[in-house]
């Protein structure tokens, strides 16, 4: 597997082990507790302080217990004014501490600093994650390629789930000389292989794709072509003759093999699931999939439109309304 190299990597690879443990001090004035309840770490908590120290402070009580982690690290655009402040003893880090990370072309080590900042935090976050959990990371084009390599190295490339593209805006910017950036990324990794995301709730638009043109008593359905993505040469076991019941024509697959075995097709026939089109003369059988057989959810997709997930313009307006 390719590995990422950056200035300072050898020092930060084990830095999460040397970060000192701190205890969390409760602020009674800011805490919301039921009458008689004592401060504890079992419920919702807000931690004020350095995030690296906060993550280390959570390990004794929360290691392997967090099911979902979301982080929104600096995008390293050069405009955020973020500062590298991790306490390492090497001279190069002493030079970095307290200095605002500059823009591309102004700071030759800006990407090294970002990787050094992220590395120990990602390692601690992995320790906090449950085996059935996942981490979601918002990022843009400036560091997404470095983030993916860091995550492959720390979490394992086999645990990459997906990279969601979120449509953060829907209007074109005429003040941009190059491309108008319409999307940002949400990178998702699991703790171990085999993680399954929750399904999205079904909506009316999805259900509207199911109709009932033949008044089937089983209700609305959607047809699926009885064709395989692979060719007959690739799936010779899915090559056989089907008789078109309305025309008597003997049908064999063309560029694509049939979708399933002959035995499975005969089962579809016996269940009256085979659809030959409105005129009954289609040369490709379709299989009915009924709406009432579907689960309550829909498989999530890796593109989140602004209509589905919101956008920054609407978010800004909503915040102005609130405050």
Other Cβ atoms within 10 Å of 3 Cβ, number: 9
Query: How far is the C-alpha of 49 from the C-alpha of 283, rounded, in Å?
Result: 68
Q: Is there a domain that residue 139 lies in?
A: yes
Residue 100, beta-bridge partner list: 83
What's the CA gap between 273 and 267, in Å, rounded?
9
- Burial category of 14 from C-beta neighbours within 10 Å (exposed 0-12, middle 13-18, buried 19 and up): exposed
User: What pLDDT was estimated at residue 260?
Assistant: 96
What is the per-residue pLDDT for 188? Answer: 98
Q: Are residues 184 and 54 in the same domain?
A: yes
Under DSSP, the state recorded for 202 is P
- Residue ranges, the chain, pLDDT below 70: none
How much is the pTM?
0.77
Residues 303 and 158: their CA atoms lie apart, in Å, by 21
Give the torsion through C-alpha atoms of 37, 42, 43, 49, to 10 deg. Answer: 100
Give the pLDDT confidence score for residue 177 in this predicted structure: 79
Strand pairing report for 221-225 and 286-290: antiparallel
In a domain, residue 39? The reply is no
Rounded to 5 degrees, φ, ψ at 150 are: -60, -45
> Are 115 and 212 members of one domain?
no
Give yes or no: residues 191 and 237 share one domain: no
Residues 130 and 147 in one domain: yes
One domain for residues 281 and 242: yes
Residue 124 token pair: 């601690």
Structural domain for 70, as ranges: 9-29+45-200+299-322
């Amino acid at each position: 597997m390719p590995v990422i190299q950056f200035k300072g990597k050898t020092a930060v690879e084990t830095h999460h082990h040397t970060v000192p443990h701190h205890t969390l001090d409760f602020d009674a004035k800011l805490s919301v507790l039921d009458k008689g309840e004592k401060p504890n770490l079992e419920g919702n908590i807000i931690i004020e302080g350095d995030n690296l120290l906060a993550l280390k402070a959570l390990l004794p009580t929360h290691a392997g217990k967090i099911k979902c982690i979301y982080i929104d690290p600096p995008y390293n655009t050069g405009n955020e004014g973020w500062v590298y402040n991790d306490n390492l003893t090497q001279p190069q880090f002493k030079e970095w501490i307290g200095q605002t990370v500059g823009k591309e072309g102004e700071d030759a080590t800006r990407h090294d600093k970002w990787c050094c900042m992220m590395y120990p935090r990602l390692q601690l976050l992995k320790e906090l994650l449950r085996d059935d959990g996942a981490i979601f990371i918002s990022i843009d084009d400036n560091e997404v390629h470095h983030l993916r390599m860091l995550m492959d190295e720390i979490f394992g490339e086999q645990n990459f789930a997906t990279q969601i593209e979120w449509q953060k805006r829907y209007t074109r910017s005429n003040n941009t000389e190059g491309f108008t950036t319409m999307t940002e990324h949400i990178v998702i990794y699991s703790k171990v292989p085999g993680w399954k995301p929750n399904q999205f709730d079904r909506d009316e638009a999805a259900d509207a794709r199911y109709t009932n043109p033949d008044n089937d008593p089983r209700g609305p359905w959607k047809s699926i072509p009885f064709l395989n993505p692979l060719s007959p040469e690739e799936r010779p076991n899915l090559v056989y003759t089907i008789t078109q019941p309305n025309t008597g024509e003997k049908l064999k697959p063309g560029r694509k093999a049939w979708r399933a075995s002959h035995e499975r097709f005969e089962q579809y026939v016996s269940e009256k699931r085979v659809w030959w089109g409105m005129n009954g003369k289609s040369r490709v059988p379709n299989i009915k999939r009924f709406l009432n057989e579907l689960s309550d959810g829909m498989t999530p997709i890796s593109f989140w439109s602004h209509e589905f997930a919101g956008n920054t313009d609407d978010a800004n307006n909503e915040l102005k309304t609130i405050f």
